[in-house]
Structure 1
Amino acid sequence: MATKITINVTNNSPNSQNFFFFQQPAVYSGGPKVYTNSLYSQEVLPYSTSGSVLSFTMILQYYAGVQQQVEPPQIGQPSGQLGAIQAIDLTPASGGTPTKNTTNMTVDPSLGLSPAFTTQDPQSGSFRINTPVYDPALMNYSAGSAVQSLTGAITLSNFVTAQPNTHLDCQPIIKFYVQTGDYTAGTVMNFTSSSATAALCDATPGFTTFNVSYNSNGTWTVKNMVMAQLANGSRGLLEKSSFTTELNAAAQIAEVLNEAGTAVVSTGQAANFLRPITVTNLTAPGAIIRNRDYQVGPVGGRYQGLTCTDITGNTAVFD
């Protein structure tokens, strides 16, 4: 029976919130910049008035995935249509039983991945995609790690732009995040800014269920659960640990002004004012629009004229 990872999200804030889920990028060799896609997104009403709980369940089966790029990956845009996926195993530690850890990518006559087979070269904990010869001036492809939800939907979780005639090794990391914001599945998002204030659901120690609460002050409480034998002899979910994220008390108050610098549109917190500037805990995130110009700085200045390159929940990045 396939292992499942379930994340249950409760909205304990007084307002309706959109939440999205994403995975920590894998470690890649043989590829350039790593991109991250949202896995799922849904609006959730306040628990106090609705009793609503959002559940997202994934099957813990590793998949290699490839897709054709319509254009270079851009934050806030779909990464493309998933062209092919293939169930695959990870390379065992030295001396372990060999696994089917490698797949061959094809582009002619169409995009595809071969059934997985065994090779000895990939490092422990990784799988390999062998890319064919092709002309990147005519077409580029994304390749990486895919995730399957309980409904059967498969999304390219994180990826790189593949290079022709190479070995692309991918070492998945089973850490997942929940953040406020609206990124539909398959949409490229900024992992660095989104994960900075997100709830971490780390399945590495063997946790299979995470009860996540979004608190009214912008923090998260995460309870890590496993299936275990309970005191009454039955099997059920047992809480193994829990934590609540902290507000960054060391951060400075940041002001975001309109492009003309005549009015403050939102305030928040920034660790520093070196570009790119990440402003968290925005008081009016709805007033910040991606690709629009603003002036950003500490209270009273000195302000910098910058463009919002990403807005996720109550966190924005300016550069």
Structure 2
Amino acid sequence: MAELEIFVINNSGQPKNYVFVASPPVVNGNPSDPGVFVSVWSSQLLDDGRFWGFFTSPDYYAWTGVSPGPLKHGITVRGGESLKASLGVASHPGTTFDLRVDGNPSLGVESAPTAPQGAFIVQSGDVPDPDLDILIGVGQRDMETGEVVPTSVMLAQPHTTTEFQPGVKFYVKNVDYHKHAILNVSSIIENSAVVDFTGKPANLNAAHVVHNADGTFTTTFVDNHKFTEVDVPAPSSLTNLPKQTIEEDPIEHDECAGDSEKVGDALTEGNSESPVLASTTAVAKIQWMPPGNIARVKADLQNISTRLARQGYKVTQDPIVTYPDGSITAEMEIQLSVPWAQFQRDWAGTVAPILVPENAKWTLIFR
């Protein structure tokens, strides 16, 4: 699975709590196994007019743990153990795991993978204590904390081979559940936004989910890497420099509008694909079309600055300028410590739910 991003925008008129849940996997060929429960991957309270961006991990994990009680709707499951899974492909079977129960359950990897295409397998032997509710399921990384959390679980059965085939379908719902809450599948499907990337072109790697004032959801799929008016490549003359080299001579780099900027800072800790430039700056020039709304512009800039700061960027904002025709412009300087291509992706993901293309345009300059 590629890394995907889902933006939830609250236009309902009231503060709302939203949960993000992955669709249950196909288990042993059954897409609706009644023994499978889903877990809240993430949860966020949003004021009206605010947004929330959620990144999915590109990896899947086999997960096992112990339920705090009988497996049912509403309990909370935390912790557990996980191992990264390789899903089966046409040329190679997927990972097969052994469930081991000696005190707390754990996982081991079989030397011979046997899982069919798109799946991994968990094999269980003896489950000695019937009162110990041992769970198995699919885990995925929580991009906010870095830990692997279960996104779907079921009770482990003794001497059973279980195939898990995860997908790229998700649900967003306005409901007051917290992270890691276990839910019946039917409870999350009803009155939720369905975000299904299945069969979508690879470039449609993001979705905007808008919660409308009438209670409905509108979902739009977009290319999260194509929000600039002009694509700005990384400096080609720096691309092939080896690691730990330093380039002290100024190197010209064309910006979107056609002017030239100078890159005179040292290149350190780079790599052959996307170098990291020390002490470099990106300048974002944003223009809001007439008639501009100064309150809205300030809110947009605050949202962008806050989101970039959460990603570790240092942002400085220049004064806002208004023009007689009603248009408004502003510039932001962002200190970079990551490859230029990565910053482009971070910037595009940040502004996508904030700057509507019909109302605002922006250009990035690399210095």
Q: Does structure 2 retain, via aligned residues, the 8 Å contact 1:100–1:116?
A: no
Q: Does structure 2 retain, via aligned residues, the 8 Å contact 1:32–1:161?
A: no
**2:86 is equivalent to residue 89 of structure 1:** yes
Equivalent of 1:36 in 35, 38, 60: 38
- Whole-angstrom CA distance in 2 between matches of 1:191 and 1:109: 30
- Whole-angstrom CA distance in 1 between matches of 2:221 and 2:129: 44
Larger Rg: 2
**Amino acid of the residue matched to residue 124 of structure 1?**
Q
Q: Aligned runs of 1:160-309 on 2, under 5 Å?
A: 160-204=154-198, 205=200, 206=202, 207-228=204-225, 232-234=230-232
**Amino acid of the residue matched to residue 183 of structure 1?**
Y
SS of the residue 1:74 aligns to = coil
Greater helix fraction, Structure 1 or Structure 2: 2
SS of the residue 1:192 aligns to = helix
For structure 1, the residue ranges without an aligned partner over 5 or more in a row are 239-319
Residue equivalent to 2:17: 18
- Whole-angstrom CA distance in 2 between matches of 1:32 and 1:119: 27
SS of the residue 1:111 aligns to = strand
**Amino acid of the residue matched to residue 210 of structure 1?**
A
- Could you say if the C-alpha distance between residues 195 and 14 of structure 1 is closer, same or farther in structure 2, counting changes exceeding 3 Å? same
Cα-to-partner distance string for 1:55-109 (whole Å, 9 max, x where unaligned): 121212011101112311221221x33321010011113xx1x255111111115
Residue equivalent to 2:136: 143
- Whole-angstrom CA distance in 2 between matches of 1:117 and 1:157: 26
SS of the residue 1:19 aligns to = strand
**Amino acid of the residue matched to residue 159 of structure 1?**
V
- Whole-angstrom CA distance in 1 between matches of 2:111 and 2:208: 37
Q: Does structure 1 retain, via aligned residues, the 8 Å contact 2:78–2:149?
A: no
Q: Does structure 1 retain, via aligned residues, the 8 Å contact 2:12–2:213?
A: yes
SS of the residue 1:59 aligns to = coil
Q: Does structure 1 retain, via aligned residues, the 8 Å contact 2:94–2:117?
A: no
Cα-to-partner distance string for 1:209-258 (whole Å, 9 max, x where unaligned): 111110000111112122456763447669xxxxxxxxxxxxxxxxxxxx
Residue equivalent to 2:324: none
Cα-to-partner distance string for 1:151-202 (whole Å, 9 max, x where unaligned): 2132211121110122111111210110001211211123223212211111
Equivalent of 2:152 in 147, 158, 177: 158
Structure 1 vs Structure 2 CA RMSD: 2.4
- Could you say if the C-alpha distance between residues 91 and 114 of structure 1 is closer, same or farther in structure 2, counting changes exceeding 3 Å? same
- Whole-angstrom CA distance in 2 between matches of 1:32 and 1:191: 8
Q: Aligned runs of 1:46-65 on 2, under 5 Å?
A: 46-47=48-49, 52-65=50-63
Residue equivalent to 1:129: 122
- Whole-angstrom CA distance in 1 between matches of 2:223 and 2:111: 32
**Amino acid of the residue matched to residue 91 of structure 1?**
G
- The percentage of counterpart residues that share the same residue type is 23
Q: Does structure 1 retain, via aligned residues, the 8 Å contact 2:123–2:159?
A: yes
**TM-score normalised according to structure 2 size:** 0.57
Q: How far did 1:117 drift?
A: 4.6
Equivalent of 2:102 in 98, 105, 108: 108
- Could you say if the C-alpha distance between residues 110 and 191 of structure 1 is closer, same or farther in structure 2, counting changes exceeding 3 Å? closer
Q: How far did 1:208 drift?
A: 2.1
Equivalent of 1:70 in 68, 71, 91: 68
